[in-house]
Every structure is written in C-alpha cells, then in structure tokens.
Amino acid sequence: MDHPQLTNLGINEITQYQQNRYPVLLIDRILEATPGVDALGIKAFSYNEWFFPGHFHDEPNVPGFVQMECLVQVFLMSFLTLPDYKGKKTSFVSIDNAQFRRKIIPGDTLTIKAVLNFCKRGIAKGSAIGSVDGEQACSADFVITIPDILNQFKPRI
C-alpha cells in the first residue's frame, strides 16, 4: 500500500512521528518523506550549539556522534511515518560503515538523505548520507528496532 509523501515537516510534526525531544532532537526539518521508502532532512548548525565550546574552543566542529544522531533521526522518518509505526520508540541494533569525510563547522547546513532498504516485524535497515553544500560529509548504515513491534514476534516459552 502506498502512503502519501509528506513535505516540509517542522519540529512539531517531527515529534508526532519520533520520540526524540530536546536536547536530543537534533534535526530541524524534514523536507520530504515517502513512508516506507526514504526521507530528506536538514540540520543547520549555529555556533550556539551546546557542543561547540568543548569541541573544540579553538576550532569548533560537529562531533561524530552528533553527526550519526542527525543521520539516524532522518532515517527514522523513512519508516516512523508509516501509520503502524508512528510515534513508536526505537532502539539501535547497529551502525556500520560510518564515514566522516569533511568537518562540519558553525554556519554549515547538513542535508541528509536516508533510504530504507528493509522494514519488517519491527526491524528497519537502511542508510543515510549527509552533505554540506553538495559535498559528502558523513554517512552510515543502520539497523534499528521498534521494540513494541519486534516483541510481538519473539517466541514465547
């Protein structure tokens, strides 16, 4: 069953689909999401981000864990926009093939394209690539679970 594409989702709409909240909701906008297929989102980094003074005071740049969290939050929107998964809690299973190709600094906007390769029985697999001004900055492959769904398929003894 095809689901309609969603466009231009702000913070209030994003929080209807995923459970991340301040201070860990890191993405600013979902430009488009095709439920069960892919998502495109952005994160604009200003010098006011909490991590810049400590990473690093003389050369501020976005820590790798923040980059990964931005990627996965856009990836979540590729499947949490499906009606049966909307608003569900998620858990990491794995992050593979993480790559960091350029520094992301204050003033940069990270554009993230996430693709869902598989989503069944509460397990989602896919990838995301983050770019700044058309240049690839970071990427990773993810396996995420939705415990409420996955637990329905665990054997009961």
Task: Report the number of distinct structural domains present in the chain.
Answer: 1
Catalytic residue status for 57: no
pLDDT in tens, 50-74: 999 999 989 999 999 999 999 999 9
**Given 49, 55, 63, 98, which residue is catalytic?**
55
User: What is the residue-averaged pLDDT of the chain?
Assistant: 96
- Per DSSP, what are the bridge partners of residue 124? 119, 144
55 in any annotated domain: yes
The answer to the question of residue 1 being in a domain is no
- List, for residues 12-32, the tens digit of each pLDDT value: 999 999 999 999 999 999 999
Let me know: does 140 contact 95? Beta carbons within 8 Å.
yes
Please indicate, yes or no, if residue 42 is contained in any of the structural domains.
yes
What is the structure's pLDDT at 35? 98
> pLDDT above 70 covers what percent of the chain?
99
Q: For residue 84, what are the domain limits?
A: 6-153
Token pair 């329905």 is found at 152
61, part of any domain: yes
pLDDT at residue 157, as a whole number: 79
For CA atoms 46, 58, 129, 133, give the dihedral sign. positive
Residue 139: band (very low, low, confident or very high) from pLDDT cuts 50, 70, 90: very high
Residue 101 has a pLDDT of: 98
pLDDT in tens, 84-130: 999 999 999 999 999 999 999 999 999 999 999 999 999 999 999 99
List the CATH number of the domain containing 50: 3.10.129.10
Q: Are 112 and 40 in contact (CB under 8 A)?
A: yes
